[in-house]
Amino acid sequence: MHVILHRMSTTFQARTAQPVPRSVIDPGLPEVAWDSDEPSDPVPPRPWVLYLEGISTRTTQVDLDDAGVLSVKVQTGACVEDLDLALGILRRAAEAGDGLVKSEEADTPFTLAEFEAAYGDEWKRRQLKSAADISIWMARREGIIALPGPTREVWIGPRVVEELENGDPAETGDRLVRVMRRVLWTEGPPFFAANRFRAGMGAESVTLAVLPPETRTLLPRCDQVGLKDAGGTFMVAQKALPALPLATTWLDDGNLLVEAVSGEQWAAVCQAARALQGTEAAGGAGSPPRQPEPPSAPDATGPSVTRRWRNGWRRGPR
């Protein structure tokens, strides 16, 4: 079971002048991207979600109500650039309005000067360090957790915890950002971002994804991966893929990058996977459980599919 843990964020509010120009919530940077459609000018009252392409580790959530009150949610694990993005929106909103910013962390509103002083570089460093520390603590308690990012989930478990703790404790937050960007904005040649599906119901359900041949693929955390050869489609555990003749890289504790495999190599991969599947079945008691039929692989030549998530951690199955 997955559990979303909310309240891992800080919300600010500023009352701004109406109508609200788009320049209040859009800094005009070339990296700015929107979770859905872009706001018009002036901005209509509704929620908006934005991030910085290739940079952000979390999304920034902005909500404008009919009274001109702008709420901005800063999520735990946001990088410095995300924090600057959120604070800049609040500053521009307050400058156009009554000059005050409210924080759920304080009893009284801040003037702009007080706001700038309270939420400067030191606060940003504390935010990152706190995010890393609590992620490590929760990962140890739960076994594995996920931080939703602009493109996919970042899974934090034993592998990432070891990486976060390997170095100067004061730089743990910086290492968390590096891990998240490695997952969210994977470098190198273009890749196909495989979708995760769920088959079955309740305790019997499994998650699965499809690995296509001849395509650099980023597999999300899942139980089983579907492969297809001349004998048809079959399943193999995701955790077993590094044991096959594949070039694989764990980006975190769930996302697995698989380099493209040629047609000739693919036959060897499937042969090894079927042999591994047979070994696993022989080692178990009785007949192996019936495996679900995976969906067909999407067109791997098309654009990468991304999934966007809201605030909070996910707790993964142990």
Asked if 222 and 196 touch (Cβ cutoff 8 Å), the reply is yes
Asked whether residue 179 falls in the same domain as residue 99, the answer is no
Asked whether residue 21 falls in the same domain as residue 86, the answer is yes
**Does residue 204 lie in a domain region?**
yes
Looking at residue 154, what is its pLDDT?
97
Mean pLDDT, residues 18-35 taken together: 94
In this structure, what token pair is assigned to residue 103? Answer: 């924080």
Q: Which of 282, 12, 256 is nearest to 152 (CA)?
A: 256
Asked whether residue 119 falls in the same domain as residue 134, the answer is no
**Does residue 316 lie in a domain region?**
no
Asked whether residue 133 falls in the same domain as residue 116, the answer is no
Asked whether residue 115 falls in the same domain as residue 151, the answer is no
Asked whether residue 173 falls in the same domain as residue 199, the answer is no
| Phi/psi at 186 (5° precision) | -60, 130
Mean pLDDT, residues 235-253 taken together: 95
| Structure-model confidence comparison of residues 306 and 123, the more confident one | 123
pLDDT tens-digit series, residues 288-301: 344 445 444 444 33
Which pLDDT band, with edges at 50, 70 and 90, does 279 fall under? Answer: low
In this structure, what token pair is assigned to residue 223? Answer: 């139980």
In this structure, what token pair is assigned to residue 289? Answer: 């459980």
pLDDT tens-digit series, residues 111-149: 999 999 999 999 999 999 999 999 999 999 999 999 999
**Does residue 16 lie in a domain region?**
yes
| Phi/psi at 29 (5° precision) | -75, 145
The Cα–Cα gap between 32 and 285 comes to 54
| Phi/psi at 9 (5° precision) | -160, 170
The Cα–Cα gap between 38 and 185 comes to 21
**Does residue 308 lie in a domain region?**
no
Asked if 260 and 242 touch (Cβ cutoff 8 Å), the reply is no
Above 50 in pLDDT, residue 308? no
Summary mean pLDDT of the chain:
86
Q: 209 in helix, strand or coil?
A: strand
Asked whether residue 20 falls in the same domain as residue 51, the answer is yes
Asked whether residue 30 falls in the same domain as residue 111, the answer is yes
Query: Which domain does 114 fall in, by range?
Result: 3-123
Asked whether residue 207 falls in the same domain as residue 280, the answer is yes
Domain end call among 184, 203, 222? 184
Q: Is the pTM of this model over 0.95?
A: no
Asked whether residue 260 falls in the same domain as residue 224, the answer is yes
Asked whether residue 134 falls in the same domain as residue 110, the answer is no
pLDDT tens-digit series, residues 185-218: 999 999 999 999 998 777 778 999 999 999 999 9
Written as one letter, the residue type at 171 is E
Asked whether residue 89 falls in the same domain as residue 146, the answer is no
pLDDT tens-digit series, residues 42-97: 999 999 999 999 999 999 999 999 999 999 999 999 999 999 999 999 999 999 99
CATH number at residue 17: 3.30.310
Looking at residue 264, what is its pLDDT?
84
- Work out how many domains the chain is built from and give that number: 3
**Does residue 317 lie in a domain region?**
no
pLDDT above 90 coverage of the chain, percent: 76
